[in-house]
Amino acid sequence: MKINKYIDHTLLKADASKEQIKVLCEEAITYDFASVCVNSYWVETCKKLLKGSDVKVCTVVGFPLGAMSTKAKAFEARQAVLDGADELDMVINIGALKAGDNAAVQSDIEAVIEAAQGACVKVILETCLLSKAEIVRGCEICADTKADFVKTSTGFSTAGATKADVLLMKEAVKSRCKVKAAGGISTYEDMMTMIQAGADRIGTSKGVALISQK
């Protein structure tokens, strides 16, 4: 796969403007990125702006804390798909995972997958808040639910993706789902490190700069 198709071109800032979203979509078309990743308010706008291209619309669910009710996450996912989202990046129930409540974590993910109606679902673990054992357990739960991806980070917590975490996640899912690395990936070298470690997708707000450094 071409390097540009690894990239989810991301703008999740609270103060993002329509003009910035327009630029994001124009850049995604120009560089033929995999998707744009935006907050759900912008899904319909992006769907219109990307019409005629193969760039997908990705949005976030339960973002960035993951501590919303399962019903709220499912509603958010369902509405995002109705608005035109092709991919959903949901945040896992981090507290439940750390408490060892695997059933709650799994049912939370399954509710979003069901609401997604076939749209790609990526599950964000927020690895910086987890032990290695918790990362492995989170990955195994995600794989059991048949989520499409496990993802390292929101980019809004204490740290982002690391090579060690990507390697661990790739091993833990055992090819049952893919791995997305996100958070703090700001150079071409960072991106290639993550890809070589096993990342199948890269989330970054610096997609154009990364490709330009190639």
| Structural domain boundaries, residue 81 | 3-212
Q: Taking a C-beta distance cutoff of 8 angstroms, is the pair 109, 147 a contact?
A: yes
**The one catalytic residue among 180, 190, 200, 206:** 180
Q: Count of CB atoms within 10 A of residue 144's CB?
A: 14
Residue 213 confidence (pLDDT): 85
Query: Tens of pLDDT along the chain (214 residues)?
Result: 799 999 999 999 999 999 999 999 999 999 999 999 999 999 999 999 999 999 999 999 999 999 999 999 999 999 999 999 999 999 999 999 999 999 999 999 999 999 999 999 999 999 999 999 999 999 999 999 999 999 999 999 999 999 999 999 999 999 999 999 999 999 999 999 999 999 999 999 999 999 998 7
Specify the CATH number for the domain of residue 48.
Answer: 3.20.20.70
How many separate domains does the chain show? 1
Angstrom distance (rounded) from CA 44 to CA 17: 14
- Record the pTM: 0.97
Cis check for the bond before 64: say yes or no (omega within 30 of 0).
yes
Do 42 and 21 touch, CB atoms closer than 8 A? yes
Is 200 marked active-site?
A: no
Q: Is 122 a catalytic residue?
A: no
Query: Catalytic annotation on 151?
Result: yes
List the catalytic residue out of 56, 73, 122, 151: 151
